[in-house]
């Protein structure tokens, strides 16, 4: 890197309002992509990662590895200090909840609260970038991509998958096999399911539109958070636990969706999938009448257009089987029947004119 380019970069990154804008955009990106609070644990980890990197950079610089005429490098512990100050603020504020004082006024006057300077914002920018990169690496959420129009997909499974009552209520793969159907609890969410379903007429479109409404409710109220972050191990939460915590991974959301569907009598099943990277995923599907094969896509478009969603270039994929049309209701995807993102993520593959599961290891 030339000296001119180096100084130009330093000058741009030294502009206070540029850094304020960039930090604000990064925060908004984290809010939208991960939820308002689920990024905080990784942010704290990123603080220590950046502190180590910054100390290393400063050490190398002091040994004249960087350009000798570069701007001064200063080790700044603003972020770590801010964490400690936040803890002190909380400790200082808690007793006020029981005192006759203006709580907000006292907090705003607290001596530790300071407006960050340009150097502080630079460190914050680096930490937010590391946080975002950590989430981009771990995230399993779907991303929109062009899809080929395919009328149906081959399930590559027997016509009859069965459903035998089970007493296996194991909730962790680390403790043995999980019977996901045994974890479906329709009674625990029946009142919610009935409340949502009652907003739609009891006609041929009821199953489709009610499922779309369940899908939207979960998307609006449950944020994807991995088991590693929540529990530190593999764990399948109950439907009510997922609703109360407002967060859960793919299996938590799949079990919740299956419970809502079962609560109002909509036929459903869950698939355990493994992709080309040997990553596991649990999805829920539901069944509509075969007579809706040529009309369900228009109904879904109308439903999503009423929500002001862009439906251009959307393709709704389905299984045509003897008992009806099976559609995907995977709330880690963008919309109902978004199998195209599963193809992109390696859970499905194209074989000639057919689309097949890469590896479906179980149906419940």
Q: Highest-confidence range of 10-19, 59-68, 127-136, by mean pLDDT?
A: 127-136
Q: Are the beta carbons of 243 and 189 closer than 8 angstroms?
A: yes
In the block, tokens 């079990």 appear at 255
Structure confidence at residue 243 (pLDDT): 94
In the block, tokens 């636990």 appear at 241
Binned at pLDDT 50, 70 and 90, residue 228 comes out as: confident
Residue 253: pLDDT over 60 = yes
- Beta strands 223-224 and 247-248 are parallel
Tens-digit pLDDT profile for residues 283-340:
999 999 999 988 898 899 888 888 888 777 788 888 888 889 999 999 999 899 888 8
The residues pairing with 281 across neighbouring beta strands, listed in sequence order, are: 273
Structure confidence at residue 83 (pLDDT): 61
Evaluate whether residue 165 is within a structural domain.
no
Residues sharing a CB contact under 8 Å with residue 112, sequence separation 6 or more, in sequence order: 85, 88, 89
Evaluate whether residue 148 is within a structural domain.
no
List the one residue out of 190, 168, 191, 192 whose CA is nearest residue 181. Answer: 168
Structure confidence at residue 86 (pLDDT): 63
Pair 278, 337 in one domain: yes
If you average pLDDT over residues 200-227, what whole number do you get? 92
Evaluate whether residue 152 is within a structural domain.
no
Pair 77, 122 in one domain: yes
Pair 338, 263 in one domain: yes
From residue 269, alpha-carbon distances to 1, 82, 120, 328 in Å are: 57, 48, 52, 10
Evaluate whether residue 285 is within a structural domain.
yes
Q: Highest-confidence range of 77-91, 191-205, 300-314, by mean pLDDT?
A: 191-205
Evaluate whether residue 151 is within a structural domain.
no
Residues sharing a CB contact under 8 Å with residue 129, sequence separation 6 or more, in sequence order: 26
Alpha-carbon dihedral sign for residues 173, 174, 176, 182: negative
- Residue ranges making up the domain that contains 16: 3-138
Structure confidence at residue 144 (pLDDT): 36
The more confident residue out of 126 and 84 is 126
Evaluate whether residue 120 is within a structural domain.
yes
Pair 299, 201 in one domain: yes
The more confident residue out of 297 and 61 is 297
Phi, psi (degrees; rounded to nearest 5) at 7: -65, -35
Average pLDDT, the chain: 76
> How much is the CA Rg of the chain, to the nearest whole Å?
25
Structure confidence at residue 261 (pLDDT): 95
Structure confidence at residue 162 (pLDDT): 38
C-alpha–C-alpha distance, residues 56 and 52, integer Å: 6
Structure confidence at residue 149 (pLDDT): 36
Residue 270: pLDDT over 90 = yes
Pair 105, 181 in one domain: no
Structure confidence at residue 183 (pLDDT): 92
In the block, tokens 């958070």 appear at 225
Structure confidence at residue 26 (pLDDT): 80
Q: Are the beta carbons of 14 and 118 closer than 8 angstroms?
A: yes
Residue 205: pLDDT over 70 = yes
Pair 31, 127 in one domain: yes
Residue 157: pLDDT over 50 = no
Q: Are the beta carbons of 360 and 272 closer than 8 angstroms?
A: yes
The string of DSSP letters for 152-174 reads: --B--S-S-------------GG
Pair 191, 305 in one domain: yes
Measured CA angle at 280 (ends 352, 212), to 5 deg = 80
Number of domains comprising the chain: 2
What CATH number corresponds to the domain at position 199? 3.10.620
Burial (CB count <10 Å: 0-12, 13-18, 19+), residue 287? buried
Structure confidence at residue 40 (pLDDT): 75
The residues pairing with 357 across neighbouring beta strands, listed in sequence order, are: 348
Evaluate whether residue 159 is within a structural domain.
no
* Of the listed ranges 28-37, 41-50, 99-108, 347-356, the one predicted with least confidence: 99-108
Structure confidence at residue 322 (pLDDT): 86
If you average pLDDT over residues 249-277, what whole number do you get? 94
If you average pLDDT over residues 167-179, what whole number do you get? 76
If you average pLDDT over residues 8-21, what whole number do you get? 72
Residue 49: pLDDT over 60 = yes
Expressed in angstroms, the distance from the first to the final Cα of the chain is: 57
């Amino acid at each position: 890197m030339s000296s001119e380019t180096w100084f130009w970069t330093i000058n741009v990154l030294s502009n206070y309002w540029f850094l304020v804008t960039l930090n604000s955009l990064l925060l908004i990106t984290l809010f939208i992509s991960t939820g308002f609070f689920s990024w905080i644990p990784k942010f704290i980890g990123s603080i220590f990662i950046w502190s180590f990197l910054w100390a290393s950079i400063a050490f190398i610089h002091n040994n004249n590895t960087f350009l000798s005429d570069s701007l001064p490098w200063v080790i700044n512990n603003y972020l770590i200090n801010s964490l400690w100050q936040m803890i002190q603020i909380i400790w200082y504020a808690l007793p006020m909840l029981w005192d006759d004082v203006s709580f907000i006024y006292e907090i705003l006057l607290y001596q530790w609260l300071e407006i960050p300077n340009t150097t502080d914002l630079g460190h914050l920018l680096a930490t937010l970038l590391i946080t975002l990169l950590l989430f981009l690496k771990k995230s399993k959420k779907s991303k929109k991509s062009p899809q080929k129009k395919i009328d149906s997909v081959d399930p590559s499974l027997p016509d009859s998958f069965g459903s035998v009552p089970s007493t296996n209520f194991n909730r962790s793969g680390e403790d043995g096999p999980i019977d996901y159907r045994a974890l479906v609890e329709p009674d625990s969410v029946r009142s919610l399911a009935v409340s949502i379903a009652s907003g739609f007429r009891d006609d041929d479109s009821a199953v489709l539109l009610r499922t779309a409404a369940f899908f939207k409710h979960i998307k609006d109220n449950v944020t994807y958070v991995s088991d590693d972050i929540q529990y530190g191990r593999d764990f399948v939460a109950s439907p009510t636990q997922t609703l109360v915590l407002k967060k859960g991974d793919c299996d938590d959301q799949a079990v919740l969706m299956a419970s809502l569907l079962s609560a109002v009598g909509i036929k459903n099943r869950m698939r355990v999938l493994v992709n080309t990277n040997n990553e596991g995923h649990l999805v829920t599907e539901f069944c509509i009448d075969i007579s809706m094969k040529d009309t369900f896509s228009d109904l879904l478009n109308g439903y999503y257009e009423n929500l002001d969603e862009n439906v251009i270039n959307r393709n709704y994929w389905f299984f045509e089987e003897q008992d009806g049309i099976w559609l995907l209701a995977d709330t880690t995807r963008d919309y109902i029947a978004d199998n195209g993102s599963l193809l992109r993520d390696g859970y499905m593959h194209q074989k000639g004119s057919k689309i097949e599961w890469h590896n479906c290891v179980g149906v419940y």
